[in-house]
Amino acid sequence: MKKQEREAQILAAAARLFSERRFDEVLMDDIAREAGVAKGTLYTYFKEKEELYFAVVFDGIRKLNELLEAVADRPGQAPDRIREVMAAIVSFFRQNRFFFRLMSVEDSKDEAGRGTYRRRWHEERHKQIAVIETILQDGVDQGALHILHVRTQAQILRGMVRSVLTSGEGLSTEEMVETIVRTFLRGVEQRDGSIRG
């Protein structure tokens, strides 16, 4: 097996275990067993458990950020682009529930938390807000949206994803996306039909 394939196998096994248990409850022995590798092999790829944990986290966030950046580069009207980026986020998290749980845990921790891993985590998460912010700002520039605090609205919109995924009431992905977009856009709608915020 190639080194890259072995590393992917280890990351997948670690992701499963970290999503099921707290960080301190997962042992490197457990991860090696789950991945079907010797513990020594595991340590040739990752020096410590925290490094492996954040490798899982950064692998997921990289995939999500690449997906969002691709969506953000597409042209279109603000409501359609908001719908596309929300669909990308909701679909990603529904297909990767373990990663949604990991992100929820990390998001609850202090941004100034210990070490470079925690700082990098927040830098990567800010990239997602930046994508949403860009789409909203484009809508403002097109005259479709009137938003005074674009970054705040971007954070609210991202927060709506977490709320819907946590309490989705058995909704399909499409229903979740439509609920988010409809609530967000109508929440900033004027009586004359133009969008404000």
pLDDT digits (tens, 9 = 90+) for 160-175: 988 888 886 788 999 9
Which residue has better confidence, 166 or 10?
10
Q: What is the CATH number of domain 56-196?
A: 1.10.357.10
What does the domain layout of the chain look like in residue ranges? 1-47, 56-196
Report the range of poorest mean pLDDT among 94-103, 106-115, 171-180: 106-115
Q: What mean pLDDT is predicted for residues 58-73? A: 87
The whole-angstrom separation of Cα 120 and Cα 100 is 18
**Whole-number mean pLDDT of the chain?**
85
Half-sphere exposure of 90 (CA within 13 A, CB side): 27
pTM to 2 decimal places: 0.77
191 DSSP assignment: T
| Domain 1-47 architecture | Orthogonal Bundle (1.10)
